[in-house]
Amino acid sequence: MKRILTAFLAAVTISAAHAQSLPGGFAYLRDIDPSIIQDIRYATSNNFVGRPLAGYNAGECVVKREVGLRLKAIQQELAAQNLSLKMFDCYRPARASLDMVKWSQNGHETAAERRYNPRIPKTELFRLGYIASRSQHSAGAALDLTLVDLKADNSAKYDPSKTYADCTAPVDARAPEGSVDMGTGYDCTDTKGHTAAPSISPEQRAWRKRLVAAMARQGFVNYSKEWWHFSLPGAGGAAYDFPIQPRRN
């Protein structure tokens, strides 16, 4: 009996050591609604920095539980329209924002970086309000996302060996994102990426309005310079810096 008890306690200890705990009421979005599509770009090289950012050890959307439940309600509404949310970024470790600051000050810009910043030097991105050194993402109050038409062909994948046009180009020329055409790619630091930009087509404007309206029905507010960025007033607080780790079943 003693050996059995010892073995049981050892198993519990191992299980606890491997369990992934999240602080401050955070949760993995997959545990709240696994149907929401995720493409966490800062965990990959497919972003404006060109490599995974500090603290992104897994491509998982981590959210405050209240935020996740509201996203679930939005997803249920969209599902009836053959649409889905697609998450690009959720909780962001504070160290990732500092990583962005260092990137902006490294003294050079590559062609791949210019795809995201076709007209604005990266040293100006913070001053102009496109990137924040202290982001609401780190407080769990902000999200980057888009819409996916589930009836469309979303099979095109990003190819790191291919040369794409910049983020303001027509959808067939820029890097594929497997989503509806919002007029620019994600993280496009250009006036065309402003939610109410006059330079986009009526169809693109309709998709943006549809996304903003769906999010607003659950209390989310859009940032006017980024059609993809939303925050939930009152959901924030102190910034966190815990790394995003792989989710365990």
Binding residues: 137, 144, 229
Helix (H) or strand (E) holding 219: none
Question: Furthest-apart CA pair in the chain: how many Å?
Answer: 75
Pairing of strands 226-231, 221-223: antiparallel
pLDDT above 70: percentage of residues in the chain:
92
User: Catalytic annotation on 109?
Assistant: no
What whole-number distance in Å separates Cα of residue 71 and Cα of residue 80? 15
What whole-number distance in Å separates Cα of residue 143 and Cα of residue 230? 5
Lowest-pLDDT range of 14-23, 48-57, 63-72: 14-23
Binding residues for Zn(2+): 137, 144, 229
Domains annotated for the chain, with CATH where assigned, are: 25-231 (3.30.1380.10)
pTM value is: 0.89
pLDDT of residue 131: 80
Q: Is 58 left (phi over 0), alpha (psi -120 to 50) or beta?
A: beta
Lowest-pLDDT range of 17-26, 112-121, 138-147, 222-231: 17-26
Lowest-pLDDT range of 24-38, 105-119, 123-137: 123-137
Q: Which residue has the higher pLDDT, 130 or 245?
A: 245
pLDDT of residue 236: 79
* Structure-block tokens of residue 60: 């998982």
**Cα 102 → chain centroid:** 20
- Reported as a single tens digit per residue, the pLDDT across 3-12 is 433 333 333 3
For residue 7, what are the CA distances in angstroms to 4, 10, 19, 94? 5, 5, 18, 40
Q: Which amino acid is at 101?
A: V
Residues 195-220: what's their mean pLDDT? Answer: 98
pLDDT for residue 35 is more than 90: yes
For residue 26, what are the CA distances in angstroms to 68, 74, 102? 9, 19, 27
pLDDT of residue 107: 86
